[in-house]
Amino acid sequence: MEYKNENKQVSNQKYDCLLFDLDDTIYPLTSGLSKEVTKNIQEYMLQKLCIEEAKVPELCVSLYKFYGTTLAGLRAIGYQFDCDDFHSYVHGRLPYMMLKPDPVLRNLLLSLPIRKVIFTNADKTHAARVLSRLGLEDCFERIISFETLNSTDKGTVLVDQDASESERPTELFDIDDYCSRPNADLELPRTPVVCKPFEEAFEQVFKIANINPRKTIFFDDSIRNLETGKRLGLHTVWVSQAADVA
């Protein structure tokens, strides 16, 4: 796991917890799994939400850019769908055999007499499958996942694939218009989803896992996530590999 230390004084300070992102952090981007995730997200947008095929790739990138996850962005701009269904479609069909056991990382983690916690925007089933494939399922005290931070986000309505144009959602925020007119008097809608890189997600994690950010090192491949963590007092380590849409 290659990384660059973003806080040079960490080694001289006492800490009592290691906080890890999951995807493209615990395993390398070169595994190819993230590309499969992106493909499944775009297929969901096309097949389940009836978004025009030509608009899907750019919309996917824009939502990830502004909201941290495509799911959070879709909910923010007005799409109504069941989050469990989204995760089942996106992660339930992944070829997890692309991930290989990592005995070196396992031995390293088990050798450290310190708390270790996973903090992921993904669902708990995906996190468990990833850790199992890597042979790391018993290396962490707990997994903080989508369900941990969004426990009341249930029962939302799916878009009917067979619905007519008039029956589909009409109150959608035009994010393309927002991007094309950055100086216009437009305000991005808030997402109901709690996730990185937003401060609320980190604050909930600190409370749920009883984490003191000033005694915790946070590993992530996303600069935005690390910037939020650092603002809130975490010591940060950048896992230096190119990020992908997820």
Distance, CA of 143 to CA of 152 (rounded, Å): 18
Q: So what's the pLDDT on residue 185?
A: 80
Query: Half-sphere exposure of 34 toward its Cβ, with a 13 Å CA cutoff?
Result: 18
Query: By the 8 A CB rule, do 66 and 58 touch?
Result: no
Q: So what's the pLDDT on residue 3?
A: 41
The DSSP 8-state label assigned to residue 19 in this structure reads: E
pLDDT tens readout for residues 22-52:
999 999 999 999 999 999 999 999 999 999 9
Report the pLDDT averaged over residues 112-120: 97
pLDDT tens readout for residues 195-239:
999 999 999 999 999 999 999 999 999 999 999 999 999 999 999
Terminal C-alpha separation, the chain: 20
Instruction: Give residue 105's pLDDT band: very low, low, confident or very high (50, 70, 90).
Output: very high
Q: So what's the pLDDT on residue 15?
A: 92
Q: Look-up: residue for tokens 């230390």? A: 5
Token duo for residue 161: 């694939």
* Greatest extent of the chain over all pairs of C-alpha atoms, in Å: 62
Instruction: Give residue 13's pLDDT band: very low, low, confident or very high (50, 70, 90).
Output: low
Give the sheet arrangement for strand 142-144, strand by strand: 3-5, 235-239, 216-220, 17-20, 115-119, 142-144
